């Protein structure tokens, strides 16, 4: 091993009469992925702002009545480098995570959609937290990433059977007047991309649209305009979800606020840049499904929220443009 790592060494003592501070900093050190060399002595690779974060922790420990010293040094040689890196091997933690994913996967079919979403959110948080402190990835990392991707695919298969695959292609500009009074068909048990797409269709493309909610994409009626399933007229293209493809196809992506709304839908459907409003939209939609609404009722209810979110994002855009002037 030729690469030599720079390390941060934290030596600290905490006042014995401040149990709250002791617990707070112990949890913080664990969250950052520090290795314990001995009681009160912690090691961490130096990089990506770690020094600044550890420095702030030192100040906090001092204010709590303790002492903290932070030092930076490189490995002495390859032997010490290997020894220190071994302290950060996450193989056992990844193995525990994989076992948890396996157990959770066995129960997916028996869970309600809202409960599956909760399990997915919980395990995603655990996986991302562990990945964030995996400073020296190895084979265990690759196995865990594969297990996580398989688990996400399994939840998608239960939550959204028939979820479309990404296709390569170009998006052609279309005329709304050629799509009036049509039957539009998509998979039933609406979720984010489908409910947002149906709202977009009815508000901007075909105000007299009639919707068919399909048990299977194979049930799509002849002449209906399919969306958000493989082989549909409108589905995922390149890195865009169906909502974004529809917006681009009919020039709706230029509407005030539409860029922010599209980012929210994209992040909830396939991930990506986190949009603050996404959590609220997901929570409301989850609650609406838990109330047992039909797909027609769900579309009507979520359409009001999408109207409000579009106005919100338009105001955000206007404020940003005003600040740039």
With contact defined as beta carbons under 8 Å apart, do 189 and 229 qualify? no
What mean pLDDT value characterizes the chain? 91
In this prediction, residue 324 has a pLDDT band, given cuts at 50, 70 and 90, of confident
CB atoms within 10 A of CB 311: 12
Higher per-residue confidence, 208 vs 162: 208
- Least confident among 131-145, 189-203, 234-248, 272-286: 272-286
Percent of the chain with pLDDT over 90: 69
In this prediction, residue 165 has a pLDDT band, given cuts at 50, 70 and 90, of confident
Could you tell me which of 157, 167, 292 has the C-alpha nearest to residue 231?
167
Rounded to 10 degrees, the C-alpha dihedral 168/172/173/175 comes to -120
| Domains of the chain by residue range | 6-86, 91-159, 176-324
Q: How many residues in total does the chain contain?
A: 325
pLDDT at 271: 79
Q: Measure the CA–CA gap between 192 and 194, rounded to whole angstroms.
A: 6
Higher per-residue confidence, 94 vs 290: 94
Give the largest CA-CA distance in the chain.
76
Which whole number is the average pLDDT over 175-203?
Answer: 95
- The highest-level CATH class for domain 6-86 is alpha beta
- CB-based burial, 189-216: b 16+ in 10 Å, e otherwise: ebbbbbbbbbbbbbbbbbeebebbbbee
pLDDT at 2: 61
Which residues is 183 bridged to in the sheet? 210
pLDDT at 121: 87
CB atoms within 10 A of CB 242: 24
Q: Looking at the predicted structure, is the pLDDT value of residue 1 above 60?
A: no
- Least confident among 139-148, 179-188, 203-212: 139-148
Which whole number is the average pLDDT over 54-79?
Answer: 93
> C-alpha angle with apex 270: 264 to 275, nearest 5 degrees?
25
What six digits make up the tokens of 182? Answer: 């049509």
* pTM of the complete model: 0.59
> C-alpha angle with apex 239: 233 to 244, nearest 5 degrees?
55
Higher per-residue confidence, 132 vs 323: 132
In this prediction, residue 284 has a pLDDT band, given cuts at 50, 70 and 90, of very high
pLDDT at 286: 84
In this prediction, residue 163 has a pLDDT band, given cuts at 50, 70 and 90, of confident
Q: What is the 3-state secondary structure (H, E, C) of the chain?
A: CCCCCEEEEEEEECCCCCHHHHHHHHHHHHHCCCEEEECCEEEEECCCCHHHHHHHHHHHHHHCCCEEEEEEEECCCHHHHHHHHHCCCCHHHHHHHHHHHHHHHHHHHHCCHHHHHHHHHHHHHHHHHHHHCCCCCCHHHHHHHHHHHHHHHHHHHHHCCCCCCCECCCCCCCCHHHHCCCEEEEECCCCHHHHHHHHHHHHHHCCCCEEEEECCHHHCCCCCEEECCCCCCECCECCECHHHHHHHHCCHHHCCCHHHHHHHHHHHHHCCCCCHHHHHHHHHHHHHHHCCCCHHHHHHHHHHHHHHHHHHHHHHHHHHHHHHC
Q: pLDDT per residue over 123-155, tens digit each? A: 989 999 999 999 999 999 999 998 988 888 788
Higher per-residue confidence, 271 vs 192: 192
In this prediction, residue 48 has a pLDDT band, given cuts at 50, 70 and 90, of confident
Greatest mean pLDDT range, 12-16, 29-33, 164-168, 274-278: 29-33
Q: Looking at the predicted structure, is the pLDDT value of residue 90 above 90?
A: yes
- Least confident among 89-93, 101-105, 202-206: 101-105
Which whole number is the average pLDDT over 25-45?
Answer: 94
CA distances from 237 to 168, 184, 196, 229, 249 (A): 6, 19, 17, 11, 11
């Amino acid at each position: 091993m030729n690469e030599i790592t720079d390390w941060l060494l934290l030596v600290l003592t905490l006042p014995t009469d401040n149990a709250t501070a002791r617990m707070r900093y112990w949890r913080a050190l664990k969250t950052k992925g520090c290795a314990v060399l001995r009681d009160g002595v912690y090691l961490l690779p130096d990089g990506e702002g770690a020094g600044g974060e550890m420095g702030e922790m030192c100040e906090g420990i001092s204010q709590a009545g303790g002492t903290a010293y932070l030092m930076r040094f490189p490995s002495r040689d390859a032997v010490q480098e290997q020894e220190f890196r071994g302290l950060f091997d996450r193989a056992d933690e990844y193995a525990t995570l994989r076992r948890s994913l396996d157990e959770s996967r066995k129960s997916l079919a028996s869970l309600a959609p809202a409960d599956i979403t909760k399990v997915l959110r919980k395990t995603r948080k655990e996986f991302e937290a562990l990945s964030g402190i995996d400073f020296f990835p190895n084979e265990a990392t690759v196995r865990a990433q594969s297990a996580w991707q398989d688990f996400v695919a399994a939840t998608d298969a239960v939550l959204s059977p028939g979820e479309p695959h990404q296709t390569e292609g170009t998006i052609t500009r279309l005329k709304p007047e050629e799509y009036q009074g049509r039957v539009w068909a998509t998979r039933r048990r609406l979720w984010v991309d489908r409910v947002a797409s149906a709202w977009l269709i009815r508000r901007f493309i075909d105000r007299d649209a009639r919707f068919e909610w399909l048990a299977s994409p194979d049930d799509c009626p002849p002449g209906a305009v399919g969306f958000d399933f493989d082989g549909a007229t409108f589905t995922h293209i390149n890195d865009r979800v169906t909502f974004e493809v529809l917006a681009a196809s009919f020039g709706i992506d230029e509407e005030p606020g539409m860029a922010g709304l599209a980012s929210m839908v994209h992040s909830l459907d396939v991930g990506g840049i986190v949009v603050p409003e996404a959590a609220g939209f997901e929570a409301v939609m989850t609650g609406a499904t838990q109330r047992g609404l039909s797909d027609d009722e769900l579309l009507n209810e979520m359409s009001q929220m999408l109207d409000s979110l579009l106005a919100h994002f338009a105001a955000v855009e206007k404020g940003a443009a005003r600040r740039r002037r």
